[in-house]
């Protein structure tokens, strides 16, 4: 077994109930390292090109890397891969939390799931005890509710990932939830689990991971934690999390307003990181072994309900607060909670809602199609639309559940011009009129419009020498924020 790795791959065929544990190949580790590399290699070699993303032959892959689960900063990420229901192409999404380390402690670096269970099912992994279990009691429950129920049933020490009703109903931007607020949000990976009749995966590992020299590894880990905490970005990132860049992105003219019709809003001061701290936050929350607790666990109270939730993070703020024009951080947080519970990606969910409102304003869909009048900035409208698309409540909800690309191709009448996506994946929270490199990053990202492959906004709007850490640090203090250079 190679040091750093758990040493095994778990393969489950839900159609035949076959469960295989096989050794992890040394060659694969050397050539593809782990995580995204393992996912890409496995999809390339094992997924037939004409596979239906929601068909039983699609693969659902969970992968960790050689550093996952070790005493190192932020070693808790878990990677997922599949063929995307949202784009029909490469699906790739990751989440923080504690799931990946638990999978490795159970002995597995990767799990490859295929087939389709006959009835609602969850996967139970406790070290090398692997079971396909009945999930009827959990089917239909919200993602967060399901996780809470399963923790009560199995024990707090299980790490659990779930899908919500949207995943069960095969909404094409359904996500995976974990740790009451960590999501693998993009590319519709939750719908792949739903298509396989898997409601959840629960894992508990009690083993350990081999390390070549434990003393040296521990010393390196301590050194890495120290280095991270001394980085300039640490000061800005930790207190407000990603919400800390809200005012800055707005000031440089890259905030998506009214379904990306403009690039600036007047109310960013009402929905920024400071408002998250003042009006929502109960406590900081971090992923496994992360010294930078960017998660803000809190409570929100609105006219439509009260909820406990994690977030909202920047993307959720920019798309609900900008693209949908909600002006209250409490309402944005509640929309965030609803997306989490229903099991949809906040980025795509907000973008689809904004697209629907613009269609309605332009007379391309009617009040009868929708079931009520809808408008930008109206909390009732946004909550109604999230429910409509996640639960496919009527024909329009069914259409919207397929994302803006397919919806616009069916609605037609020019709606394609304001369906904001790349490859069928809705844009994340940056308007790119003054940010050509960021636009290029969206256009060339392998999964579709996403900011995690290249975040080059700072270089576009402030200058090529911009240090991203400085921007983030400055974002926490509006008086020292770098000024935009807009040509
Ligand atoms: S707490 Fe935030 S910074 Fe730390 S690993 Fe999780 S997502 Fe990343």
166 and 252 share one domain: no
Q: Say which CATH number the domain at 240 has.
A: 1.10.569.10
**Residue 1 domain-assigned (yes or no):** no
**Residue 137 domain-assigned (yes or no):** yes
**Residue 365 domain-assigned (yes or no):** yes
Q: What residues flank ligand 1, with Cβ below 6 Å?
A: 74, 96, 286-287, 290, 292-295
**CA–centroid distance, residue 69 to ligand 1 (Å):** 14
241 and 130 share one domain: no
**Residue 211 domain-assigned (yes or no):** no
Nearest CA to ligand 1 atom 1: 286
Task: Please identify, among 169, 204, 239, the residue that sits at the C-terminal boundary of a domain.
Answer: 204
Task: Please identify, among 187, 204, 221, the residue that sits at the C-terminal boundary of a domain.
Answer: 204
Atom of ligand 1 nearest to the CA of 291: 4
319 and 431 share one domain: yes
160 and 59 share one domain: yes
235 and 171 share one domain: no
**Residue 328 domain-assigned (yes or no):** yes
- Domain total in the chain: 2
**Residue 265 domain-assigned (yes or no):** yes
What is the per-residue pLDDT for 471? 53
What are the pLDDT tens digits along the chain (487 aa)? Answer: 789 999 999 999 999 999 999 999 999 999 999 999 999 999 999 999 899 999 999 999 999 999 999 999 989 999 999 999 999 999 999 999 999 999 999 999 999 999 999 999 999 999 999 999 999 999 999 999 999 999 999 999 999 999 999 999 999 999 999 999 999 999 999 999 999 999 999 999 999 999 999 999 999 999 999 998 888 777 777 889 999 999 999 999 999 999 999 999 999 999 999 999 999 999 999 999 999 898 999 999 999 999 999 989 999 999 999 999 999 999 999 999 999 999 999 999 999 999 999 999 999 999 999 999 999 999 999 999 999 999 999 999 999 999 999 999 999 999 999 999 999 999 999 999 889 999 999 999 999 999 988 889 988 887 755 555 555 554 444 433 334 333 3
Atom of ligand 1 nearest to the CA of 76: 5
197 and 252 share one domain: no
Atom of ligand 1 nearest to the CA of 290: 4
What is the per-residue pLDDT for 237? 77
Atom of ligand 1 nearest to the CA of 294: 2
**Three-state SS sequence of the chain:** CCCCCCCEEEEEECCCCEEEEEECCHHHHHHHCCHHHHHHHHHHHHCCCCCCCCCCCCCEEEECCCCCCCCCCCCCCEEEEEECCCCCCEEEEEECCCHHHHHHHCCEEEEEEECCCCCCEEEEEECCEEEEEECCCCCCCCHHHHHHHHHHHHCCCCEEEECCHHHHCCCCCECEEECCCEEECHHHHHHHHHHCCEEEEEEECCCCCCCCCHHHHHHHHHHHHHHHHHCHHHHHHHHHHHHHHHHHHHHCCCCCECCCCECCCCCHHHCCHHHHHHHCEEEEECCCCCCCCCEEEEEEEECCEEEEEECCCHHHHHHHHHHCCCCCHHHHHHHHHHHHHHCECHHHHHHHHHHHHHHHHCCCCCHHHHCCCCCCCCHHHHHHHHHHHHCCCCHHHHHHCCHHHHHHHHHCCCHHHHCCEECCEECCCCCCCCCHHHHHHHHHCCCCCCCCCCCCHHHHHCCCCCCHHHHHHHHCCHHHCCCCCCC
442 and 331 share one domain: yes
Q: Say which CATH number the domain at 77 has.
A: 3.60.9.10
238 and 135 share one domain: no
191 and 300 share one domain: no
429 and 355 share one domain: yes
**CA–centroid distance, residue 50 to ligand 1 (Å):** 36
Domain carrying residue 469: 231-480
């Amino acid at each position: 077994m190679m040091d750093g790795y758990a040493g095994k791959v778990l393969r489950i065929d839900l159609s035949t109930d076959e469960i295989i544990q096989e050794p992890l190949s040394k060659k694969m580790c050397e050539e593809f390292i782990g995580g995204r590399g393992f996912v890409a290699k496995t999809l390339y070699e094992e997924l037939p090109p004409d596979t239906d993303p929601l068909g039983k032959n699609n693969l659902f892959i969970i992968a960790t890397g050689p550093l996952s689960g070790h005493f190192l900063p932020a070693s808790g990420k878990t990677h997922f891969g599949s063929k995307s229901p949202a784009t029909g192409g490469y699906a790739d999404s990751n989440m923080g939390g504690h799931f990946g380390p638990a999978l490795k402690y159970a002995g597995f670096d990767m799990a490859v799931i295929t087939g389709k269970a006959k009835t609602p099912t969850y996967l139970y992994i406790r070290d090398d005890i692997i079971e396909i279990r009945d999930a009827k009691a959990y089917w239909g429950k919200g993602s967060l509710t399901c996780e809470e129920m399963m923790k009560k049933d199995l024990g707090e020490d299980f790490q659990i990932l779930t899908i919500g009703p949207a995943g069960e109903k095969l909404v094409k931007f359904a996500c995976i939830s974990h740790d009451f607020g960590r999501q693998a949000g993009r590319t519709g990976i939750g719908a792949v689990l739903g298509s396989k009749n898997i409601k959840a995966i629960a894992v508990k590992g009690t083993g350990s991971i081999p390390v070549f020299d434990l003393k040296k590894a521990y010393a390196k880990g301590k050194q890495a934690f120290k280095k991270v905490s001394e980085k300039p970005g640490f000061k800005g990132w930790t207190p407000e999390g990603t919400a800390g860049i809200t005012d800055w992105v707005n000031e440089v003219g890259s905030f998506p307003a009214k379904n990306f019709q403009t690039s600036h809003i007047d109310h960013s001061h009402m929905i920024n990181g400071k408002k998250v701290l003042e009006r929502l936050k109960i406590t900081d929350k971090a992923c496994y072994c992360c010294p930078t607790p960017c998660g803000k666990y809190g409570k929100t109270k609105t006219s439509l309900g009260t909820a406990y939730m994690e977030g909202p993070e920047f993307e959720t703020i920019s798309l609900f607060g900008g693209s949908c024009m909600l002006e209250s951080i409490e309402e944005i947080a509640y929309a965030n909670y609803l997306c989490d519970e229903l099991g949809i990606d906040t980025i795509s969910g907000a973008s689809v809602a904004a697209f629907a409102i613009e269609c309605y304003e332009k007379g391309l869909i009617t009040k009868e199609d929708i079931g009520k009048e809808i408008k930008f900035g109206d909390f009732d409208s946004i909550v109604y639309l999230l429910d409509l698309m996640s639960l496919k409540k009527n024909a329009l909800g069914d259409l919207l559940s397929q994302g803006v690309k397919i919806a616009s191709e069916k609605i037609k009448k020019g709606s394609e011009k304001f369906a904001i996506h790349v490859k069928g994946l809705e844009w994340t929270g940056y308007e790119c009129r003054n940010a050509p490199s960021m636009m290029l990053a969206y256009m060339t990202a392998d999964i579709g419009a996403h900011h995690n492959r290249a975040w080059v906004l700072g270089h576009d709007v402030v200058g090529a020498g911009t240090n991203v850490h400085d921007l983030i640090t400055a974002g926490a203090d509006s008086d020292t924020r770098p000024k935009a250079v807009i040509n």
